[in-house]
Structure 1
Amino acid sequence: MFETFTGTETGEQVRREAREFIENYLKPLEQEHRITYESEVPIDLLRQVWKASREAGLYGAQLPEKLGGRGLTIYDQCLLKEDVVSAGAKLGAHVLGELGGPPRVGHLFQFATEKQLETHFLPVVRAERTCCFALTEPNAGSDASRLATRAVKEGDHYVLNGQKRYISGAPYADFAILMAVTDPEAGAKGVTAFLVDFDRSGVSLNSDYLPISGQRSHADIRLDNVRVPESHIVGGLGRGFLLGMSRINVNRLLHCPTMLGLARQALMEAASYATSREQFGTPIASFQAIQHMLADMATELHAARSMVLDVASRLDRGEDTREASAMCKLFASERAFQIADRAIQIHGGAGLMKGSKVEWIFRALRMYRIVTGTSEIQRNTIAKGMLKDLKAAS
């Protein structure tokens, strides 16, 4: 029931290679080092995974061939990401470089200078350096117009002061693509993107919080009179916000396969448990109440996947999917969490215990209704687009 959709010839080849890499390399490595979903993994081990994935042709597979990738379509990427996540590897996110690798810089190549490509972007593709995207602040989450981080020009440098909050991938990163205000009077046009190396004086990272997922993959970035060369501006002065928004429709969509992969795991765990757990002398899978829950979970997963892949096809055709991508983020995050909730219900008390796979998936999926744009923000986008279309048609 999960093999209904297929991608391009290259995409299907990469999917096969990813499955083999996870089963033959990644899972044995995790067992050797006793890695759990909530382990604090040494950076040296992560670098080993990144390089092995790169050598296997997976790390950066979504990039064009001229940049060392496999030239995958967005449709291919959605299928691949769901496969990787649903495989259940604890370090699965690192196979494709989701927490600091090529997905963070892929669309920025067109804005980078030759020097920036040499020093920052191409080393990320080669798994030699890692990066994060730093936009969110303590008082600027969904409202990016409230950025407080400032960059003041001094000669051929800018001096940056401020704080970035909950930045994913920051604990593993060597540098950040960081948004700072260079013109406080210009609104969104006063935001500029800087390459900020973490070994610069005045840069410090702090992660004194633990998300409900139990994974320390986020950190705050504090900037205290950090001097950054003017040559480290990406895309031009005042173009940071546009640069950050240039891939928002694609990025919103590409978070969805992760949710679907987790939901798929939850469904399979629930189905497996239901066939082995007995009550009153019979497997609970024979009870109609359990069957109905499994049927609803499978239906919602199929609906969400169909929706995501439809929008992926439209993006590959170059269509505007602003509202449709928001719909996918909204629907996939809400339905995936509901699937995990039912998986807990089917497991009963066993599902409530820390260490249970469905318990961790439940916590992880709860985050996706907030991170990368809350469900309420997605609804705003959808409604505004619909009302705009109605007004234009009247």
Structure 2
Amino acid sequence: MDATTTPAPQRSSTAAAPFEGSEAARAFIARVEAFIHDELQPLVAEHGISYESGAPRPLLEEVWRRSRDQGFYGITLPKNLGGAGFSVLDHCLIKEAIYATGSPLAAHVLGELSGPPRVGALAKYATPDQMARFILPVARAEKAICFAITEPEAGSDAGAVQTRAERVGDEFVLNGTKRFISGSPFCDMAVVIASTSDDPARRETTAFFVERDRPGFRVESGYKTLAGQSGTGNIILTDCRIPAANLIGEQGKGLALALGRITVNRLLHCPAMLGLARLALQDSIAHATRRRQFGQPIGAFQAVQHMLADMATELAAARALMLSVARILDAGGEARADTSMAKLFCSETAFRIADRAVQVHGGEGIVQGSRVEFLFRLLRMYRVLTGTSEIQRNTIARELLGDALR
């Protein structure tokens, strides 16, 4: 593949294996794979979308609407808002299949960057007014939303936010900077976690809906991540006034609200990593079969065979851990350590698979624009995103040692 080629999405390679989920999930995956292949890939080709170039907002809106019309966009919402009611296990299998298609638009099929997954857990806290102004427009693919917690001095320590929200009559006035916020360049609104404490020594965080078109709300974008993507940006709040009715839930409960589903959400990043790792393995197998050296395919050499064998084995192990943790959550288990183990192991394993994929591809693997080169950079990011590997190890250790650390 040359540097300007966007590869066509591939169908799942696990169709012959026993399917671990429900029949409803199996049918859903077949429909969503067909949707990506038949509807989204032509858009990708027509508009020259690549993994790194991304898509403009009008095209994203079209993708969101098409996905909504097919019944895909809102599956993560509560059932009373049109959600599908899938188990965590089914959700993992669905998301893995979507990312394994290789579509540059994979993250937008379920609205992960800016859609229903961002607001589903907030629905139970939302007032009727907030449902009408914020939750339902996102659920209907009419508006895009982002979640703004991270700041220059608050990342892993999310409770250390310095953005301030000061109550003035029937309004709050927000000042501060949110950094590296996914989906912010094309958001219509943000969920902002801000400090409402009047004592610098006391942590008190509160969540707010903040519309982008309010004076004092500015998005700084244009920088790119390691993977070359520009879907993140900074949100600058300068004397941004919002009505008190935009406060979500109780004052002082913002961080608890934001992290309320962190255990499940941590696991649900794993299928994206493993779907991408599967692509790297598939591409490597195809290359080892096609590429010839010394009169035979390079797949005939034991060194290449062993790399492929290790890639497949580690992918199977990571996938088994992910599905095992999903079953624990579906059975009602808390699984704090287990989800951190899954995120840690899946992110580290997926990157090792991408690293070997580059090695198998040789010179082709280090050319910018080749898919394995991009996957190498993207999967490296997952070891940092949504909680670094070190944070996951901290969580696992705390759960193992319990009161001994207190």
Query: Is TM (by shorter chain) over 0.5?
Result: yes
Quote the residue 2:383 is aligned against: 369
Partner SS for 1:196:
strand
Unpaired segments ≥5 residues, structure 1: none
Report the residue type matching 1:219 in the other structure: G
Cα distance change on mapping 1:70 and 1:352 into 2, 3 Å: same
Which of 49, 56, 61 matches 1:35? 49
Instruction: Report the Cα distance in structure 2 between the residues aligned to 1:391 and 1:361, rounded to whole angstroms.
Output: 38
Instruction: Report the Cα distance in structure 2 between the residues aligned to 1:175 and 1:34, rounded to whole angstroms.
Output: 28
Instruction: Report the Cα distance in structure 1 between the residues aligned to 2:106 and 2:82, rounded to whole angstroms.
Output: 21
Report the residue type matching 1:198 in the other structure: R
Quote the residue 1:76 is aligned against: 90
Partner SS for 1:160:
strand
Cα distance change on mapping 1:11 and 1:69 into 2, 3 Å: same
Which of 296, 310, 335 matches 2:310? 296
Instruction: Report the Cα distance in structure 1 between the residues aligned to 2:55 and 2:111, rounded to whole angstroms.
Output: 15
Shift of 1:185: 3.2
Partner SS for 1:133:
strand
Shift of 1:136: 0.1
Cα distance change on mapping 1:186 and 1:319 into 2, 3 Å: farther
Q: What are the Cα deviations for residues 244-282 of structure 1, in whole angstroms up to 9, with x where unaligned?
A: 111110111001111001100000000000000011100
Shift of 1:20: 0.8
Report the residue type matching 1:67 in the other structure: L
Quote the residue 2:199 is aligned against: 185
Report the residue type matching 1:21 in the other structure: F
Shift of 1:124: 0.6
TM-score when scaled to structure 1? 0.97
Which of 147, 153, 159 matches 2:167? 153
1:189–1:241 contact (8 Å) kept in structure 2: no
Which of 122, 125, 129 matches 1:115? 129
Instruction: Report the Cα distance in structure 1 between the residues aligned to 2:18 and 2:352, rounded to whole angstroms.
Output: 22
Quote the residue 2:338 is aligned against: 324
Shift of 1:235: 1.1
Aligned residues: 392
Report the residue type matching 1:304 in the other structure: A
Give the 5 Å matches for 1:1-394.
2=14, 3-185=17-199, 190-388=204-402
Instruction: Report the Cα distance in structure 2 between the residues aligned to 1:44 and 1:221, rounded to whole angstroms.
Output: 21
2:222–2:230 contact (8 Å) kept in structure 1: no
2:152–2:179 contact (8 Å) kept in structure 1: yes
2:189–2:209 contact (8 Å) kept in structure 1: yes
Instruction: Report the Cα distance in structure 1 between the residues aligned to 2:367 and 2:405, rounded to whole angstroms.
Output: 52
Moved more, 184-193 or 27-36: 184-193
Report the residue type matching 1:124 in the other structure: V
Cα distance change on mapping 1:105 and 1:186 into 2, 3 Å: farther
Partner SS for 1:205:
strand
1:145–1:187 contact (8 Å) kept in structure 2: no
Shift of 1:63: 2.4
Report the residue type matching 1:363 in the other structure: R
Instruction: Report the Cα distance in structure 1 between the residues aligned to 2:66 and 2:156, rounded to whole angstroms.
Output: 36
Shift of 1:314: 1.1
Cα distance change on mapping 1:104 and 1:210 into 2, 3 Å: same
Unpaired segments ≥5 residues, structure 2: 1-12
Instruction: Report the Cα distance in structure 1 between the residues aligned to 2:34 and 2:112, rounded to whole angstroms.
Output: 19
Segments ≥4 residues shifted beyond 3 Å: 184-189, 389-392
Q: What are the Cα deviations for residues 297-332 of structure 1, in whole angstroms up to 9, with x where unaligned?
A: 011111111111111111112111111100011000
Cα distance change on mapping 1:126 and 1:353 into 2, 3 Å: same
2:160–2:203 contact (8 Å) kept in structure 1: no
CA RMSD of aligned residues (A): 1.5
